[in-house]
């Protein structure tokens, strides 16, 4: 079975680990073959250039998580990470100081920046980095073009646009956001392999990633949403009981005028795209017109629970695909 997963950072990466387990895909040992295959379309809207280094937080989180290098507690960055370079840059007076630039991580950014400077597209760079990490999935950036999520914030009555990372990390999403803009999205194209992977997919699964700045950014690349919509698409709600499971997705939903509610998020994603939607038992009554909503426990509390959620998403997907196939 071929699955396509548009994914953001921590939530997406953890769900993918469960999905791999559910599909019997080993990692990182490449010899563990499976007839199942996952292609991840990674969000690159969070990417940022700091200190001359091109940083792709979501791609790295997926790569490290699936490749065994993630800091499990933080959910981002490398296990056993140190922050010497960051401290030294601050000692030189370099700004910003709010970004969590780890030493191990810095090497990843140096390799990426060097390859980009040499002319390789991000998709080729990501493939090269994955040569080391062997995440057990095919990890594609959503685009090789530069798309950056900016947030229009209001302070003292004045509005200005800041990079998503500044809003998310420096301001902990606490600065009121008036809108969220995917800069460059209109003129971007899907990275090589993205549309092909979708076309060949048996199923598309939306993990419990941030629906606005993760999944939303991927959907914002012209051509991707349409291609996905032609497939059977099931999603896992990142909202449980009116609050994000992790992160500050509520602030993002507020900014675009969508209620922080499992059903509202499904409706926002749209019945044209979404065929099935898993919500937590706390949201058992949630509905979204034209979308098959099922409830089950959705907390990814441990690997077994996460695998069970992934299996439920697959089951729902296959059921809906069969119905769709049967009904023409």
For residue 233 the two structure tokens come to 């698409």
Window 18 to 77, contacts with a second copy (CB under 8 A): 51-53
Nearer Cβ to a second copy (110/174): 110
Nearer Cβ to a second copy (99/277): 99
The SS3 assignment for 188 reads coil
Only segment of 4-12, 113-121, 230-238, 308-316 that touches a second copy (CB under 8 A): 113-121
x/- map, 130-169, a second copy, by CB under 8 A: -xx-------------------------------------
CB of 170 to a second copy, least distance (A): 20
**Is 106 a residue that touches a second copy (CB under 8 A)?**
yes
Q: How many CA atoms lie less than 13 Å away from 136 in the CB half-sphere?
A: 25
Window 2 to 21, contacts with a second copy (CB under 8 A): none
CB of 45 to a second copy, least distance (A): 24
Instruction: Give the long-range contacts of residues 46-51, CB within 8 A, separation 24 or more.
Output: 46/8, 46/9, 46/149, 46/164, 46/165, 46/168, 46/213, 46/214, 46/217, 47/146, 47/148, 48/99, 48/148, 48/163, 48/165, 50/96, 50/99, 50/101, 51/89, 51/94, 51/101
Residue among 225, 196, 275 nearest 6 (CA): 225
Q: How far apart are the first and last CA of the chain?
A: 20
Only segment of 38-46, 81-89, 146-154, 181-189 that touches a second copy (CB under 8 A): 81-89
Is the Cβ–Cβ distance between 294 and 276 less than 8 Å? yes
CB of 167 to a second copy, least distance (A): 23
User: Of these, 82, 97, 179, 301, which contacts a second copy (CB under 8 A)?
Assistant: 82
Only segment of 79-87, 136-144, 171-179, 259-267 that touches a second copy (CB under 8 A): 79-87
Distances (CA, A) of 155 to 167, 214, 250, 279: 12, 25, 19, 35
Only segment of 105-113, 165-173, 225-233, 271-279 that touches a second copy (CB under 8 A): 105-113
**Is 93 a residue that touches a second copy (CB under 8 A)?**
yes
Residue among 158, 60, 75, 172 nearest 107 (CA): 60
CB of 139 to a second copy, least distance (A): 15
The span from the CA of 302 to the CA of 312, in Å, is 15
**Is 88 a residue that touches a second copy (CB under 8 A)?**
yes
**Is 129 a residue that touches a second copy (CB under 8 A)?**
yes
Nearer Cβ to a second copy (82/301): 82
Contacts of residue 115, defined as CB under 8 A and 6 or more positions apart, other chains included, come to 124, 125, 128
Binding site for a second copy (CB under 8 A): 51-53, 82, 84-85, 87-89, 91-94, 103-104, 106-108, 110-111, 113-114, 117, 129, 131-132
């Amino acid at each position: 079975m071929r699955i396509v997963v548009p994914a953001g950072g921590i939530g997406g990466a953890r769900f993918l680990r469960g999905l791999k387990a559910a599909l019997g895909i080993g990692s990182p040992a490449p010899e563990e073959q499976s007839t199942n295959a996952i292609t991840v379309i990674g969000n690159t809207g969070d990417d940022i250039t700091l200190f001359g280094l091109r940083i792709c937080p979501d791609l790295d989180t997926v790569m490290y998580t699936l490749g065994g290098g993630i800091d499990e507690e933080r959910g981002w960055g490398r296990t056993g990470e140190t922050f010497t370079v960051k401290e030294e840059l601050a000692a030189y007076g370099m700004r910003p100081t709010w970004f969590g630039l780890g030493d191990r991580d810095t090497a990843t950014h140096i390799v990426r920046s060097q390859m980009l400077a040499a002319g390789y597209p991000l998709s080729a760079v990501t493939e090269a980095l994955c040569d080391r990490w062997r995440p057990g999935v095919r990890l594609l950036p959503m685009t090789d073009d530069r798309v950056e999520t900016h947030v229009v914030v209001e302070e003292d009555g004045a509005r200005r646009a800041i990079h998503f990372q500044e809003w998310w990390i420096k301001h902990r999403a606490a600065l009121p956001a008036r809108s969220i803009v995917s800069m460059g999205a209109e003129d971007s194209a899907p990275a090589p392999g993205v549309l092909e992977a979708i076309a060949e997919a048996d199923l598309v699964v939306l993990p419990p990633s941030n629906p606005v700045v993760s999944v939303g950014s991927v959907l914002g690349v012209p051509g991707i949403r349409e291609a996905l919509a032609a497939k059977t698409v099931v999603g896992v709600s990142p909202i449980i009981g009116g609050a994000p499971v992790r992160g500050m997705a509520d602030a993002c939903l507020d900014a675009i005028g969508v209620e922080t509610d499992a059903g509202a998020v499904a409706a926002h994603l749209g019945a044209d795209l979404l065929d099935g939607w898993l919500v937590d038992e706390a949201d058992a009554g949630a509905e979204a017109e034209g979308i098959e909503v099922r409830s089950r426990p959705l907390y990814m509390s441990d690997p077994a629970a996460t695998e069970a959620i992934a299996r439920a998403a697959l089951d729902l997907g296959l059921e809906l695909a069969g119905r769709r196939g049967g009904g023409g």
